[in-house]
Amino acid sequence: MEWFLAGLVFGALIMLLFCYRRRKEKEVITEKLKESFSALSLEALSKNTEQFLKLANETLKAQTQVGEKELEGKKELIDQTLQVMAGEMEKVQHLVRSLEKDREHKFAELTTQLKYSAEQTARLQETAGQLRTILANTKARGQWGERMAEDVLKLAGLVEGINYQKQKTLESSGSRPDYTFFLPRDRKINMDVKFPFDNYLRYLETENKDAQEECKNRFLKDVRARVREVTGRDYICPEENTVDYAIVFIPNEQVYSFVHENDRTILDEALKSRVILCSPVTLYAVLVVIRQAMDNFSIEQAAAEILSLLGSFNKQWEAFLKSLEKMGKKIDEAQKEFNLLNSIRRVRLERPLRQIEDLRREKGIPVNVLLPESQATAEAAVAEE
C-alpha cells in the first residue's frame, strides 16, 4: 500500500516535471516565435515602407508633373486674360480720352450756342421793342400787316396782277379792300389786313391781374367790332362777282391763338357773318387752295380748248379721208385706162408697125436712112429739145 502511494506520488512528480519542462519548452518556443515574428514584421514593415515611399514618390512626382502642367496652363490662361484685360483697358483709356475730347468740344459748342442764344435774345428783345413801337402806331401797324401778308403771298407762289391785286376800289360800293384774289370763272374774294392790337398790347404790358382781364375783354370786343366792320364794307358784293365770304388777316400766330383760346365763339360768329379769320399759317393754306383751284381751272380750260381743236381736226380728217378716197378711185380708174392702153391699144398699134418694118426689110431700106423731109423734121425736134 505504501509502495503504491509512493509510486503514485513519484508518478505525480514525474508528471509535474514533465509538465513543467513542457511549459518551459513552450515558453522558449513562444519566445522564439515572438522573436521570429518580430524580425519578420520588421522586415515586412521595412519592405512595405520602402514600397510605400517609392509609390508615394512616384505618385507625388506624377501629381507634381500634373500640377506643373495645370499651373502652366493656368499661367497661359492668366497671361491671355491679362492681355485681354490690357487691351480692354487700352480701349477704355482711348474711350475716356475720346470722351474727354468730345466733352471739351461739346462744352466749346455749348459756349458758342449760349453766346449765340444771348445775342439772339438781345436781338429778339430789340425786335420786340421795335414791334411794340410799330404796333402802337395805327398806320405802321397796317403797313406791318401788309408786309406779313406779302411774305405769305410770296411763299404761296402768288403773283400780283395775275393771282391778286392790291387796294382796288370796288365800283359798286366804293370800298377798297387791301387785297382781292382772283378765283376761277372770274370770281373774287377780298381780304383786309388791318387788325386792332391796342388793347392786346396793353394786356401784355400790364402786370395787374384785374387790368389784364379788362384789357383782354376789350381786345375781344375789338375783334368782334372788326368782324362787323368788315361785314358792313360790302366786301361781299354780287355785283363785283365776289364769293360769299371775306377774309380778315391776323398777322400774328400768337394773337390768333389768344383769340381762339379765350373766346372760341368769335370764330364761329365770324363764320356766321361770312368772315374768315386767318393767321399766317391758315392764310397760307387758303392761298394754296386758291392757287391750286386757278391752276386746275387753267388746265380745265386748256383741256376744253384742246378738245375743241380735236373736234376741228376730226372734221378736217374726215374731209381728208373722203378726198383721199376719191383720189384713190380716180387712181384706180387711171390704172385701168393705163392697163387698157398698155395691152390692147399697144398691141393694135404695134401690129401695123411690124408690118411697116417687114415692108422696110423687103425694100432693103436701111434704118438710119431718112428722107430729106423727115431728116429736117428730126433735126428741128432735136433743136427744140
Q: Is residue 196 domain-resident?
A: yes
Averages of pLDDT over each 10 residues, the chain, 385 residues = 56 64 67 62 61 69 72 73 77 79 76 77 61 58 76 85 83 78 84 83 83 88 87 78 85 85 86 87 85 73 74 80 83 82 76 79 66 45 43
Determine, yes or no, domain membership for 203: yes
Asked if residue 191 is part of any domain, the answer here is yes
Query: How far is 208 from 124, CA to CA, in rounded Å?
Result: 25
Phi, psi of 183 (to 5 degrees): -115, 170
Total domains present in the chain: 1
Name the region of 192 (left: φ>0; alpha: ψ -120 to 50; beta: rest): beta
Query: What's residue 382's pLDDT?
Result: 40
Distances (CA, A) of 285 to 48, 164, 183, 278: 111, 16, 15, 9
**What pLDDT shows up at residue 313?**
77
Residue 235 lies in a domain: yes
- 112, part of any domain: no
Burial class (CB in 10 A: 0-12, 13-18, 19+), 215: buried
- Rounded CA-CA distance 188/235 in Å is 10
The answer to whether the beta carbons of residues 191 and 177 sit under 8 Å apart is yes
Look at residue 148 and tell me if it is in a domain.
yes
Q: Does residue 149 sit within a domain?
A: yes
Tell me if 125 is assigned to some domain: no
pLDDT at 288: 84
Residue 281 belongs to what domain range?
A: 141-297
CATH assignment of the domain containing 218: 3.40.1350
pTM: 0.46
